[in-house]
Structure 1
Amino acid sequence: MNTPTTIPHFLTLQRKDFFPPPESPRGTISLSAGPRTTSYRAPEYPDCITLLELGSAALDGHYGILHGGIAGAILDETLGLTASLHLAPRSQQGLLGFTATLNVTYRTPVFTPSTVAVRSWVEAREGRKWVCKGQIVDADGVVLTEAEVLMLTKVQKSTL
């Protein structure tokens, strides 16, 4: 999707001093049930902020409005990156997270062309499960689309 007419610019800023949340007790991680009526409360300083310049036409579902599947893909990619940044120091093999579940809530249309930001953070973790949340926001900070993802880390093989 990185072309002059789709997403010509994509920049992720990472907190210098972020730490994953403490390990949750087994069996306590769950995603929100059903559609949400209120937006997630983003932390004052999310783990990552990604700035995107959205082109037009090729990304649209309806003229001038970003296709919902593209919004979901943007959130899946940025939330996966956020989890990976937490996981990278724990692994010599690099990126080990996989999306198990992605729940997307569409608040208001994302207009194209436009510049938007994605705020993303790790909400909870339990063993191989990581819950991340994120929001696509406009220049005024209005939440346009948000998502919650359950990421699973790769099962580590024992070495003898």
Structure 2
Amino acid sequence: MRITMQSPRFQKSPSFRIKSHLSNRLISHFNITTRTARGQCNRHWSRAVEEGYEHHRARVSARCFRFSTSTKNRTQETSDFLNHFIRANKPSQSTVEHFSSLGWTREVLENDAYKMVPFFSRYGIEHTGENRFFARTVNTDTTVPHILALRLKDLETPESGVSTPRYQSAQKELANLAIAEVVCLMALGEDLQAHPSIVHGGFQAVIFDEAMRLLILLHQNNICIPGPRDIHFTATMTISYSAPVIAPSNVLVRCRLVRREGRKWFTKGEIIDSAGKILTSAESMWVTAKRFVGS
């Protein structure tokens, strides 16, 4: 079975103030009044949507999402935030012990080409609500009790428009761990079942989404320039289900960057069982939101 999911390019934002030269082209107009936490002052915003002006929506939506955080505490994160995160957090000892106790996952941990890193989505950011789903909702003994991420030590980020050299040389060796730039070991619990003893297909998409997110964050960290943190969104994802992912079970999720083009990132990944069999595969395109002066 092959399923393709595509997110809406951008959502309409209430923060779009139409320019004067568009006033005659207005199709819909809404006055939205919001009350600030500091007083009784009002803000008035206008919004318009018209064919031929979709790029205005795209720019505004990206700006809106740039501050999709708590109104109480909009902490401005810098582009090198991942370095601080990795230094401040370590994988839990119980998780390391769990995967060290299994022969096939222990071999992955002992691979000198990789090193352990904290799985970003597992750490909730309280003042913004970021990562709450993986940090809380599925952080239980019966959902996903253990996640351990590893990254390739010599992770190389390709220039825009160039395919990853490692991927080019190993396209036919899908069973070879060497082409994986990020590896995630996951323990999947019984509460993830849809059909009896089978992990829900939608949750498998979530697994890919979070693993690929870590992959892109690591690559972005290689090439980031001083400034605010870049925000990335999933644009499309195509998933092929080849065999059931059993619940409960332990699986390996591997992913790699195929290429990047401007603000677009193209990734691939697989979910693999203890026998090395590919159960599910995915291809995804991510987009980095545009930066705005003063945002």
User: How much is the aligned-residue C-alpha RMSD, in angstroms?
Assistant: 2.2
Is 1:48 matched with 2:185?
A: no
Counterpart in the other structure of 1:83: 216
- Report the alpha carbon displacement of residue 87 of structure 1 after superposing the two structures with TM: 0.9
Q: Distance in 2 between matches of 1:75 and 1:102?
A: 9
Query: The residue matched to 2:221 in structure 1 has which SS?
Result: helix
Q: Give identity over the alignment, percent.
A: 37
Alpha carbons 1:87, 1:96 under 8 Å: kept:
no
Corresponding residue pairs, total: 146
- For normalisation by structure 2, the TM-score amounts to 0.46
User: What is the match of residue 29 of structure 1?
Assistant: none
**Residue 104 of structure 1 is aligned with which of 223, 229, 239?**
239
Q: Which runs of 4+ in 1 moved over 6 A?
A: none
Q: Which moved more, 1:94-103 or 1:62-71?
A: 94-103
Q: After superposition, what is the alpha-carbon deviation per residue over 1:32-71, rounded to whole angstroms, capped at 9, x for unaligned?
A: xxxxxxx994672311100000110x20111100010011
C-alpha distance in 1, partners of 2:173/2:215? 17
Task: Considering Cα pairs closer than 8 Å and 6+ residues apart, tell me whether 1 or 2 has the greater RCO.
Answer: 1
Matched, 1:59 2:192: yes
1-structure distance, mates of 2:228, 2:146 = 28
Superposition deviation, residue 94 in structure 1: 3.8
| Residue identity opposite 1:121 in structure 2 | R
Q: Secondary structure at the match of 1:4?
A: coil
Paired residue for 1:21?
A: 158
> What residue ranges of structure 1 are gaps of 5+ in the alignment?
26-38
Q: Name structure 2 gaps, 5 residues minimum.
A: 1-137, 163-171
Contact 2:230 2:289 (C-alpha < 8 Å) held by counterparts: no
Give the number of the structure whose residues are more often helix, by fraction. Answer: 2
Bigger Rg, which one: 2
Task: Please tell me whether the aligned partners of residues 104 and 147 of structure 1 are also in contact (alpha carbons under 8 angstroms).
Answer: yes
Contact kept, 8 Å, 1:106 with 1:145, in 2: the verdict is: yes
